[in-house]
Amino acid sequence: KAGVTQTPRYLIKTRGQQVTLSCSPISGHRSVSWYQQTPGQGLQFLFEYFSETQRNKGNFPGRFSGRQFSNSRSEMNVSTLELGDSALYLCASSLKTGEGNTEAFFGQGTRLTVV
């Protein structure tokens, strides 16, 4: 059974550009969440999608957006990149939701460097 797949693994972008990251959840998982990890701020929740709808959003500016497709794959977009957006972006998928707490599995992450 394939795990959570994130592409690309590494990205280098220039300030002001935009970037799109992709996450394919474990087959059958319908919830996808995104996190940003930086040395200074640690792991921070960006947003969560379930059945193509954003259900939860963290405290990030509107430059950070996302979407989920009917096959549960999700994309995250960051526009007008800033140096501070350099981070490891992690995606997590969960099987069940609304039925109590369940396990969440992460992908390998996309390491974004903004220069």
Partner 1 sequence: AQKITQTQPGMFVQEKEAVTLDCTYDTSDPSYGLFWYKQPSSGEMIFLIYQGSYDQQNATEGRYSLNFQKARKSANLVISASQLGDSAMYFCAMREGSFGNEKLTFGTGTRLTIIP
Distance CA 91, CA 34 (A): 5
Q: Which residues in the 6-35 window bind partner 1 by CB under 8 A?
A: 31, 33, 35
8 versus 16: smaller Cβ distance to partner 1: 8
Nearest CA among 74, 26, 27 for reference residue 50: 74
48 binds partner 1 (CB under 8 A): yes
Amino acid at 5: T
CA distances from 113 to 9, 58, 86 (A): 11, 21, 5
The correct pick among 50, 64, 112, 114 for binding partner 1 (CB under 8 A) is 50
79 versus 108: smaller Cβ distance to partner 1: 108
Hey, what are 78's tokens?
Answer: 């960051």
Nearest CA among 25, 26, 81 for reference residue 34: 25
40 versus 62: smaller Cβ distance to partner 1: 40
The correct pick among 68, 109, 112, 114 for binding partner 1 (CB under 8 A) is 109
- Nearest 5°: phi and psi at 63? -65, -20
The correct pick among 5, 20, 22, 108 for binding partner 1 (CB under 8 A) is 108
Residues that bind partner 1 (CB under 8 A): 31, 33, 35, 42-43, 45, 48, 50, 55-56, 58, 88, 90, 92, 94, 97-109, 111
